[in-house]
Structure 1
């Protein structure tokens, strides 16, 4: 954040546009975490869900996975010259946690659940989807993800806030647009994601003329 904006007069300030940078508010992180708490009924149903998927396992490490699809499937390539997370990205991010922690349980939420179920590797039986046994709401999803130990996000502010509220380690998709993307006039990677978060570069080959990066 530029120095001229570090001291703004007035008790309340409203940001317009996309003020999605930790540089605006990270110095009051504890206050944010206190304010952004969940209602007791959400906490109760979230903990019930997490206990159910844990089963008999002990010392489980929960990793929340948010897969953003929906309108981004079209907006990212057609408007912003970018991509969204693919299967390889999710495989790599999940492998990181599987290799680092024991008894990992992945909890997947998405606005493209069919794609997620087809592309996320559950051969180890350690992946659970938030719509099992019934469709979850956005409130359910963010509560579940924020109660996890770590986060895998893809793109979008929903996933960002999940990682910010959950704490722990967060893996995110980085370099997901071409260098000439107009999106970069609004978005700065270094200001959008916390320095300690782990960025995995996107595969931009689908945006190239021959579609395979060769």
Structure 2
């Protein structure tokens, strides 16, 4: 058995699943998802999230409490700040924790049963089953709104452009760690693609479309993909992946929107600076063919 801890937003969950799926496939063993993180209380600087992978065609089942206890022990204790749950990671219980943000080569040597704990944000963890991952992260059905966008995208030279704001702006901790991509980055990226290709149309994906409309001028046909109009996050990923080219934010969400594109001819532009914080080395985060601006 391979069990993986899922946490964070949809993009993080996809990385965690993909790494665990590769390992389960390699070892020919069942894959279990531990989603208890989503039901626990978190500190105020952690953005609340919900489990989101049920929207895809994934091949895994939920871990039961008894299965989880094979790997994770929890102890209740009291302290000055009140009652908390503390989890004890016991190496003897076959818990494999990501050592750093870079690709961890130990991943290639581990055997099951195993509990994976980390973010696993590199295609190196699952590149050997890339076709499987792309197929399983497809969306079974789309809303009528998304179907209309998809038809336009498939009949144009479409560029997905993602602007991540949300908690990157409103949450002080997230802002200090991640930061937002600058207007200059987006304008430079748009110019780069327009120098390479004619007749491009831009599809804007953002959690703050009003801000984008006001602050990002684009001299081309532009469509603002409005989630409130019926396109859910997993549907937005399906729309992104069908675009010809991509301008992504420093966000795992648009990373996946670009990576899931099957085309060998796609151009993907990513920000040179992924984190404001220097705690993480991002050398393994972006595929080598992607362009950093």
Q: Which TM-score applies when normalising by structure 2? A: 0.57
Residue among 49, 52, 68 paired with 2:164: 68
How many Å separate the matches in 2 of 1:8 and 1:121? 49
TM-fit CA distance, 1:174: 1.7
How far has the Cα of 1:43 moved from its partner?
A: 8.4
Q: Do the aligned partners of 1:65 and 1:151 also contact (CA within 8 Å) in 2?
A: yes
Corresponding residue for 2:136? 35
Q: How far apart, in 2, do the equivalents of 1:53 and 1:144 lie?
A: 8
Q: Quote the RMSD (CA, aligned, Å).
A: 2.6
Distance 1:3 1:90, change over 3 A: closer
Look at both structures and tell me which one has the larger radius of gyration over its CA atoms: 2
Unaligned runs of 5+ in 1: 201-214
Q: Decide whether the 8 Å contact of 2:153 with 2:239 is kept in 1.
A: no
- SS of alignment partner, residue 189 of structure 1: coil
Higher RCO by CA contacts (8 Å cutoff, separation 6 or greater): 1
Q: 1:195 to 1:91 in 2, by over 3 A?
A: same
Q: Structure 1's 146 and 176: CA in aligned 2 closer, same or farther, altered over 3 A?
A: closer
Structure 2: any 5+ residue segments left out of the alignment?
1-102
Q: CA deviation at 1:42?
A: 1.8
Matches within 5 A, 1:25-174: 25-39=126-140, 41-42=141-142, 46-52=146-152, 60-73=156-169, 74-78=172-176, 80=177, 83-124=179-220, 126-131=221-226, 134=229, 136-167=231-262, 168-174=266-272
Q: For residue 113 of structure 1, report the CA deviation from its aligned partner.
A: 1.2
Q: Give the deviation of 1:117 after TM superposition.
A: 1.0
Residue 175 (structure 1) aligned with residue 273 (structure 2): yes
Q: Does the residue aligned with 1:195 lie in a helix, a strand or coil?
A: coil
Relative to structure 1, is the Cα distance of residues 53 and 121 closer, same or farther in structure 2, using a 3 angstrom cutoff?
farther
Flag the structure with higher strand content.
2
Classify the secondary structure of the residue corresponding to 2:112: coil
Q: Distance in 2 between matches of 1:2 and 1:159?
A: 23
CA gap of 1:133–1:17, structure 2 versus 1, over 3 A, is closer
Match of 2:288 in 1: 195
Following superposition, the deviation at residue 177 of structure 1 comes to 4.4
Structure 1 residues 51, 35: CA separation in 2 closer, same or farther (over 3 Å shift)? Answer: closer
Q: What's the CA shift string for 1:60-96, capped at 9, x where partnerless?
A: 3111111111111243443x2x531121111111111
